[in-house]
Structure 1
Amino acid sequence: MTFSVSWHALLDELDDLPEGATLITPLSHNRFRVTNVQEQRVIIDFEDSDEKRPLQRDQFETLYRRIGDEPNGFELDRLPADADPYPAVLSLHPRFEIDENAGVITEQDGPTTSQLLDGEPADDTDERSEPDLDVYADALLLVDALERHDVTTLSEMETDALVNLYTLLSDVQRNANDLRQDVADVLLDRLHHDRPVSGPFGSVQRTTRRNRSLKDEDEVLAKLEDAGIDREWVIGIDRSKVDDALEVTGLSETDVYDIDESEYVRKADVDEEVKETRLQGLKEQLAATEGQEADELRKEIEDLEGRIDELTSFRTGTEVHE
């Protein structure tokens, strides 16, 4: 099949898209919509910005030919930084498919899936569901505590209020870190290249951490001796043996250690029952209250949910121009 035939088949698919249909780019996971279909180009709008972009026919042809040259699929991370939308649009063609796990776009003999997310605009009036996350519940309690106390003057707060605040901060930190690691595990599968991917609050990049651990001690010492290094230069004091020696000698700890003591606060216990009672009270207050006060409370909770959602939503940080 020639590119001209494939191009016009793609244009037919684009003309048949339902109103409000959303596509997503395979690398940066930006959402966009096709707003205009022309003979020589396709105009798209990104959802998270006012940016409009023309996708040119000749660029689609270049991608088409590169896919044809690769029997196992064209690797998406070989795309230029601003070319992410092209494979997403091309995936609407019945014979082209994106495999995000493998990081490739391929041509198939039969019908394929596409990067089309939905056929209708999202209905913002749908009933919101509460995320089943520990960090969400703790964050809601923390926001409530921050609103009830003036934390700009911590020294004037009651001790029990400070204890509650510290406990909630500790719980949010722990649970947020668990969620952060879960998010990182998913992101790692989506970052196929070294280019940073940005969200509203920051950016992430796939990196490699290099850890070192010594080989067997005898092997290391033998290698160093062969290189002319005296083993006494690299053999240090074994701390565990020093501690054993202290127990059978008259030496004190300060004879062999420089000791610097510091004091800190450690969370000793959490009253989950009280936390759950307070959280349930907030939910019941929201359900029972009507009028402006209820609207304001719902708005606060929705804003909180929005901030959590946004922290797990990422888009490309590369600026592109028409």
Structure 2
Amino acid sequence: MTFNVSWHTLLEECDDLPEEATLLTPLSQDRFRIADVQEHRIVIEFLDRDIDETRPLQRDQFETLYRRITEAADGFDLSRLPTDADPYPAVLSLHPRFEVDADAGVIHEMESPTGTQVIDEAAETDPAADEPEERTEPDVDVYGDALLLIDALERHDIAALDGLDTSALINLYTLLSDIQRNANNLRQEVSDTLLDRLHHDQPVHGQFGSVQRTSRRRRELKDEDEVLATLEEAGIDRERVLGVAPDKIDDALKVTELSESDVYDVEKREYVRKAEVDEEVKESRLQGLKDRLATSDDPEAVELREEIEELEGRIDELTEFKTGRQYHTQSGAE
């Protein structure tokens, strides 16, 4: 499908849009409406701005975005949009073949009709829709430890560990140790699930990085007597490989017609390895989360801060440092 066809389809979709329909930009979360539809541009009107509330979106800019999307195998990364270009993917999502995946931070071209960035007006007018959903704490051990560690890292100067008291160091070490163990357990579960979805050795990309399917071979010598007997039958003197050292066995294999599997139990294991990490995306996303938490009066943010304080109190009790004298003094008093 050419861009010219897609452009006129988009214009028709904009024309058919109800006058009160509100769209949402995927990155800045600005609300706007379609104010006018013209042959070479689409004029939008922002609902939350006192200045520059109207803005024309040019056809050639839509064409550039269209080219970028159709050239990207896994969708166009929205973080690569130029400044103030956030409304373009929101409007393009009105086209039945383009969809914004806000969670993944990309816009895709799809084979079948897709959703749009139009806000559900019924939900906006329903008072119950404004009530925040009850937030549930993930049932994984690493979650609570991660919240505590974030709080501890914000309160202590990690660049000067020598200046921290012993109790603070013990708390940090305990949290880091628990997170390492629990995160590795969760990582393995994620890896096992992801392995079923990777069917080739090419990297598969996500928002924060990419992974790829690969394999690792591990071999272990079979029973020593069995190995020596096998080599003797092939004409290798027992004394030559006495001790069944792997390097001697490998030398013997080079001068016989024996295969590696004749003397080794060879296991090939598939696994997922980290291929790349986009630290800039991670840092940007994390900073946004921290800023929203710090300034928000939303009940969810308040609840999260209270959870951090409660979890911190619990871990302090578990890891509080006491000298031997303090411990025995308290035990004697009891």
TM-score (norm 1): 0.42
TM-score (norm 2): 0.40
Which structure shows the bigger proportion of residues in strand conformation? Answer: 2
